[in-house]
Amino acid sequence: MPFIVQNTWKSIFKLTLPILVGYLAAGIAYGLLATSAGLPAWFTITMSFTVFSGTAQYAAIPFFLSGASLISVFLSTFLMSLRFIFYTLNMRQNLPDNSIHKTLSLSYLTDESFALLTTVPQENQKVIILKVNLLGMAYWVFATIIGVILGDSVSQYIPNLDFALPCLFAILAYEQYKSQKQWKAIFIAFICFLLAQSISNTSILLISIILAIVIVILLPNSLIDNKGQKNGHY
């Protein structure tokens, strides 16, 4: 059941502790991987507060290593980020009135902050969204800096670092399901994954996202249950 969160940094810090824990693992792993791949420290850190997308940043590392063109990197990042259109549409009524606060809230909205915000009442989202997203960005940049500082000295001893981000997504999906009891999104994601896997072994994430977007667009309104509509969630 949704609960009210006070609009104080202390309360929102407590609320975002799951994001902090997840970002520490995923952000440090990103910093380690990027440094090991030879990307400059300044570039790795700059990407964390400008791109601020774990999925895109992880995916960009092999692109830069292979010498891919900026157009290829841009198109891949754009397609992987299309899902944020639905996040924005879902949150459009819950954004701050101040134009600067609204822009920052949208710019720093992530999978993790969106999942967390859906666990609080709709009227509460408008009050806390900016602080939630700013803290999320700070956590990610902080974790990236730690990863860059540790660099090669640690990465060679920790295998499968790039699995930290999928683990974070899985945990957040489970927590959101416990709060909202919406199984349809998980079912759609699973079907899209199976279809993408049968189409290609190299672009599964990208294909899954595109398939999910198409399915959601074509999904009849009758399949959206009343509970989701009342709480302002899809």
Per-residue model confidence (pLDDT) at position 227: 46
C-alpha pair distances (Å), 140 with each of 12, 26, 177, 202, 218? 16, 8, 24, 27, 34
Q: Which of 86-100, 105-119, 135-149 has the highest mean pLDDT?
A: 135-149
Buried-exposed string 138-174: b where 16+ CB fall within 10 A, e elsewhere: ebbbbbbbebbeeeeebbeeeeebeebbeebbeebee
CA 12 and chain centroid, separation = 18
SS (H, E, C) 138-182: HHHHHHHHHHHHHCHHHHCCCCCHHHHHHHHHHHHHHHHHHHHCC
Taking residue 135's Cβ as centre, other Cβ atoms within 10 Å add up to 21
User: Which is nearest to 161 in space by CA: 144, 177, 186?
Assistant: 144
Instruction: Provide the pLDDT confidence category of residue 180 given band limits of 50, 70 and 90.
Output: low
Structural contact between residues 215 and 196, judged by C-beta atoms closer than 8 angstroms: no
What pLDDT, on a 0 to 100 scale, did the predictor assign at position 230?
42
CA distance linking residue 183 with residue 67, whole number of Å: 41
CB of 37 within 8 A of CB of 63? no
Q: How much is the pLDDT for 231?
A: 44
Distance CA 30, CA 147 (A): 7
| pLDDT attached to residue 164 | 64
Domain ranges within the chain, ordered by starting residue: 9-180, 182-234
Q: What is the DSSP string of 24-72?
A: HHHHHHHHHHHHHTT--HHHHHHHHHHT--HHHHHHHHHHHHHT--HHH
pLDDT at 43: 92
How confident is the model at residue 145, as a pLDDT? 95
Residue type, 105: S
Q: How far apart are CA 143 and CA 173, in angstroms?
A: 22
Average pLDDT, the chain: 79
Q: Tokens standing for 89?
A: 């549409």
Is pTM beyond 0.75? Reply is no
Q: Are 39 and 61 in contact (CB under 8 A)?
A: yes
Count of alpha carbons within 13 angstroms of residue 65, beta-carbon side: 12
60-90 per-position pLDDT tens digit: 887 777 676 677 677 777 777 777 777 777 7
Mean pLDDT of 214-227: 65
How does residue 228 score in pLDDT terms, banded at 50, 70 and 90?
very low
pLDDT tens digit sequence for 135-176: 999 999 999 999 999 887 776 666 666 666 666 667 666 666
Q: For residues 206 and 200, what is the distance between their CA atoms, to the nearest angstrom?
A: 10
